[in-house]
Amino acid sequence: MESAIKDVATLEQAKDLGLMESEFKQICEIMGRTPNFTETAIYSVMWSEHCSYKNSILWLKKLPKDGPHMLVKAGEENAGLVDIGEGLACAFKIESHNHPSAIEPYQGAATGVGGINRDIFTMGARPIAQLNSLRFGKLSEDRTKWLLKGVVKGIGDYGNAFGIPVVGGEVFFNECYSANPLVNAMSVGIMEVGTMISARASGVGNPVFIVGSATGKDGIQGASFASKDMSEESVKDLPAVQVGDPFQEKLLLEATLELAKTDAVIGMQDMGAAGITCSTSEMSAAGGVGMEIHLDKVPMRQDDMKPFEILLSESQERMLIVVKKGREDEVLRIFDKWDLNAAHIGEVTEGDRLRYYMHGELVADVSAHSLVLGGGAPVYEREFNEPAYYAEAQKFSIEQVQEPDDYVMTAREMLGNPNIASKKWIWEQYDSMVGTANMSTNGPTDAGVVRIKGASQALALTVDCNARYVNNDPEQGAAIAVAEAARNIVCTGGQPSAITNCLNFGNPYSPEVYWQFVGAIKGMSKSCERLKTPVTGGNVSFYNQSVAPDGSTRPVFPTPTIGMVGIIPDKNKIMTLDFKQKGDLIFLLGASKNDLGSSEYLASMHGIELSPAPYFNLDEEVKLHELVGKLITDQVINAAHDVADGGLFVTLVEMGLPNGLGFDILSDSEIRLDAFLFGEAQSRVVVAVSSDQEDAFLKVLSTTNVPNLMLGHVTKGKMVIDDNHYGFMDEAREIYDHAIAREMQGR
């Protein structure tokens, strides 16, 4: 012990590890001495933004956390947990793997999928569905194509092998993501209420096990790597990218769930960011105990690993388990059955000290409480200022934009836009049928739908965020992201329950970036409170910006991705979005506006990125949800699809494509035609009504003051607007279905 303590770290080493001078001084004060290098490395990862949320926690605490279905609130466990009825609970969470994916897209994305699934099954829930939200640069760029191929293959290979279907997602292309793509992965699992395994350590003398894969040098300093800007030098951080093994994870899943059926487990936590350091410190701090850990007992892939490398390694498919004393053999038998490592590496101790040994020598002695979020980790209040571009965006007026000379050609170009076109090239690489839980394949739906075996209800799942909206107005844009997610749930026949979020922003030390972050938190809170969808947790990912050789920086669009879970009370009343038959009436619920703000049409067809966020009124949104929910419950509509990216024209095409049916509609003479067809004003849903449902439908409409407009009717395949022929649905399909594939193939 004495020799380890004398081997003190220097301020330069602390800075190299990502600590600020003030933080290093704070650590010295906490410890009452200068830490050694291993201890400094421990603090560097636990006090990194990725683990401590030191620059975001003050505002995260303002998010609403209470709701009618909540079982586990944000920050309490590995993931959020909501009651979904019939004695069942849903565990769900979304996290980012942005920086690793930027330099090694395949493994970066694959290990993101693996990590988020472990967060779910360490709670004792079986994962049943995955979703993802992806952002890339312009698709015409070679680097974007390389990143897209790698990320999609990584997600597909890991998820397909692990055996969990991808049931939903979103992809968005913009040059601001060229150097720093965003890869957000969401996992959803099911368990019985009251069977959750906590991520807390307790019981002095209880043994501590590390289970799963052996530990290697991959992923060392991964948490710190995720807490700094991307640059040309980032490729040198390749060791910070982990390597995944989905087959090992499948074994770990089954062993964990078998272990969960016993009462031998006290606590369990995934070993993700910061590896052994994070799991031992967070479990100890949560339980108000300490641990003694013998690092030489950790199964390793390399013989020459130093103590700090073992502690900071982020090798995948590993977990830490605290077991009831005397039940060790039971645990070993289960993991031996599944051919997995299970090594007894330490014990729970009284107090809050974490003591790490190597071959009997004490190499680090730190306080668990001092390391963690909510404990001794620093909390900063950052300044924020409104950026100049915001005022510039608000100056936009629709009169600045000339209407298209050829609306038919414009409509076709919109369908071929990568942000609008089918993402078929991507989702065809995912196994959406594995596990037999995905019900979305029974018909296209606004949200992914997952059956719960043996239950009368189903789950509706979605991820949503229009980052252009958020960039142009963070508060309004984030409020819209929550509302759109809820609208997708409602259009599927579900009741929104709760959200998880992945908050992707630039450098928090930039006052303009932090202004975006604060605005997004305010907007998200506003919608979550009004829609009764509390925040169960999630992930903050700062430093999503690139540093050019000249030292200038460019942050990505602020991207607060919303993952939402909804409950469909009756799985026999799932609503699909596809037109069913020729002659059905088409209605628009909600009001169109003379509004082109932040639309894809404005950005891609007119080159205008800066404009106000689209029209949005939260009261109108709530009334729309109530109306659509009643129409579905009363079974008086046969299709529902929200108006979102690309506007009304794209919505109608997407409703017609599944069955090759077209539409014949009239526009609103009070609305500019381009705003009517391509504007993205919120709180609008298109529904289809058969002739025998019309009277009942109109009766429900008469009970509400939600604006509505009969647009026209479904056709056999022709697209007609104001008596002008826009082509046939087969022509639209050719453009819409193959646009991304053609671009990826250079055609």
DSSP reduced 3-state for 688: strand
Query: Which positions ≥6 away from 186 have C-beta within 8 Å?
Result: 92, 93, 94, 116, 130, 131, 132, 133, 461, 463, 500, 502, 563
Instruction: State the Cα–Cα distance between residues 36 and 41, nearest whole angstrom.
Output: 9
Catalytic residue flag (residue 369): no
* Torsion sign, CA atoms 656, 417, 97, 513: negative
Q: How many CB atoms lie within 10 A of CB 730?
A: 11
Q: Which of 50, 99, 625, 713 is catalytic?
A: 50
Among 294, 301, 309, 313, CA closest to 358: 294
Instruction: State the Cα–Cα distance between residues 7 and 709, nearest whole angstrom.
Output: 76
Residues 652, 686 contacting (CB under 8 angstroms): yes
Instruction: State the Cα–Cα distance between residues 461 and 167, nearest whole angstrom.
Output: 8
Give the DSSP H or E segment for 391: helix 388-394
CA angle, 709 then 712 then 718, to 5°: 145
Cα 151 to Cα 97, 408, 558, distances in angstroms: 10, 35, 21
Q: Which of 69, 97, 369, 641 is catalytic?
A: 97
Torsions phi, psi for 729 (to 5 deg):
-65, -30
Cα 428 to Cα 155, 420, 656, distances in angstroms: 12, 17, 20
Instruction: State the Cα–Cα distance between residues 523 and 474, nearest whole angstrom.
Output: 7
DSSP reduced 3-state for 451: strand
CA angle, 52 then 57 then 63, to 5°: 140
- For the record, the structure tokens of 99 come out as 């920086």
Query: Which positions ≥6 away from 187 have C-beta within 8 Å?
Result: 92, 93, 113, 116, 117, 119, 120, 127, 129, 130, 164
Cα 393 to Cα 2, 172, 602, 612, distances in angstroms: 62, 21, 13, 6
Instruction: State the Cα–Cα distance between residues 545 and 507, nearest whole angstrom.
Output: 7
DSSP reduced 3-state for 586: strand
Residues 591, 681 contacting (CB under 8 angstroms): yes
Among 555, 605, 589, CA closest to 687: 589
Query: Which positions ≥6 away from 439 have C-beta within 8 Å?
Result: 449, 450, 451, 458, 571, 574
CA angle, 342 then 347 then 350, to 5°: 155
Cα 246 to Cα 40, 42, 130, 215, 434, distances in angstroms: 33, 28, 14, 16, 14
Give the DSSP H or E segment for 36: none
Which of the residues are catalytic?
A: 50, 97
